[in-house]
Amino acid sequence: MKKNWLFSILIGLSPFAHATSSDIGFEALFIQSLTVSNINNIDFGRLSGDSTSSGGGIVLSPNGQINMGTSGFLSLDGQGTSGSFEVNSSSGSSINISCTSTGLLAHETQSNIVLSLNSVHYNINNPNNSAIFCDGDNYDFTSSSQDTIYVGGTLFVSPGSTTTLGQYSTSNAGGIAIHFSISYE
């Protein structure tokens, strides 16, 4: 009897229950696709070393300045060409960039003979700004819709007596290029 009485009370109260509803809206914003264009490779230029050179690092900065950090080697061109590329995106957007810090330049005919490229660094929109090093961390910047990334690094050369003459490149068999990842934040 108690069960029926409780059930009757619950049934009797149900018409007096209040109900409400609400609408939830949705939005979508389509922005410009993120693209990379005008890719220019790093070029240390024509280098020469004598047989007594000690080997070591040759630094090419993002502004194209070359610093012969080793004795016995010289740049026949006086400077190199920094790497660069353009990032095209929606103006004012937050862009995330990361890159590998090392690469290998392989000899044109002997893929087992390589030179290492280390301490890769870059600048955004001004090749004379302070360098951002590719050290495994991501870097965020605000897009100006077309941003130019200037790239430099340190090429390690063998002592002059063991240097194999010829052209070295990351695009030769055995070479490993620097990899940049760019995305919207």
pLDDT digits (tens, 9 = 90+) for 137-167: 899 999 999 999 999 999 998 887 788 889 9
Q: In this structure, is residue 79 part of a structural domain?
A: yes
For residue 170, what are the contacts with CB-CB under 8 A and spacing of at least 6? 41, 103, 104, 105, 106, 117, 176, 177, 178
Structure confidence at residue 16 (pLDDT): 55
- Domain with 101 in it: 37-184
Q: How many domains does the chain have?
A: 1
Residue type, 102: T
Q: In this structure, is residue 23 part of a structural domain?
A: no
Residue with the bigger pLDDT between 169 and 29: it is: 169
Sign of CA dihedral 164, 170, 176, 177: positive
Q: What is the pTM assigned to this prediction?
A: 0.80
Band of pLDDT at residue 3, cut at 50, 70 and 90: low
Structure confidence at residue 153 (pLDDT): 94
Residue with the bigger pLDDT between 46 and 78: it is: 46
DSSP 11: H
Answer yes or no: are the C-beta atoms of 120 and 103 closer than 8 Å.
Answer: yes
For the cut 80, the answer to whether the pLDDT of residue 73 exceeds it is no
